[in-house]
Structure 1
Amino acid sequence: MFTTTELAQVLFVTTLQPSDELSPFRIREAVDERLCACGGDPSWCAAFVAQEAGDHPEAYARRMRWALDAVACAYEPAAV
């Protein structure tokens, strides 16, 4: 099981954009595809995220907020 932060870092490195019309399914699909490409290890994505944070802090902050919100919505537990 991955944390919200780990999933957000994975989403961060996908080609999805905040301006795209994204369903929870599409977000989960993109995260799954990227995780598979990284051998199931989200730390591979974390290294890229850290580089972006250093190189482009303003853009990083916006994209990470979006990624955290998107992941929280896409992976929220279904109401019972």
Structure 2
Amino acid sequence: MLTVARAEALFTSPLATGSHPSHATAEQAIRHAVRTHGGVRGCAADVAGEYGDHPECAAPRMRWARHVVDELYDAGRPRWVLAG
């Protein structure tokens, strides 16, 4: 759930699709997006709206956001892999 919330917040942030933000930059953008959109539910609602209004742009942006979150937060990797 946290991975999805981070990706949705990053999706709604002003960072450029295709950019490679540092962990600190992404974290700041995610926090700002959550505050600006009234929480994670607001981010999710805006993501849904973009898929309805501009699906041709929304899909690549979400792929980018998921990739950034996965890379920066090691999403989906077992803890023993990170420790070893």
Greater CA deviation, 28-37 or 55-64?
Answer: 28-37
The structure with more helix, counted as a fraction of residues: 2
State the TM-score, normalized to the length of structure 2: 0.77
Q: Which amino acid aligns with 1:60?
A: A
What root-mean-square deviation, in Å, do the aligned CA atoms of Structure 1 and Structure 2 show? 2.0
Q: 1:35 Cα deviation (Å)?
A: 2.0
- Moved beyond 6 Å, runs of 4+: none
Deviations 1:1-57 (A, max 9, x none): x52111111101110012434212211111122223345x20111111101001111
State the TM-score, normalized to the length of structure 1: 0.81
Larger Rg: 2
Contact 1:24 1:73 in 2 (8 A): no
Aligned to 2:29: 30
Aligned to 1:74: 72
Larger RCO, structure (CA 8 Å, separation 6 or more): 1
Q: Identical aligned pairs, as a percentage?
A: 35
Count of aligned pairs between the two proteins: 78
Aligned to 2:12: 13
Q: Where does structure 1 lack aligned partners over 5 or more consecutive residues?
A: none
Greater CA deviation, 55-64 or 20-29?
Answer: 20-29
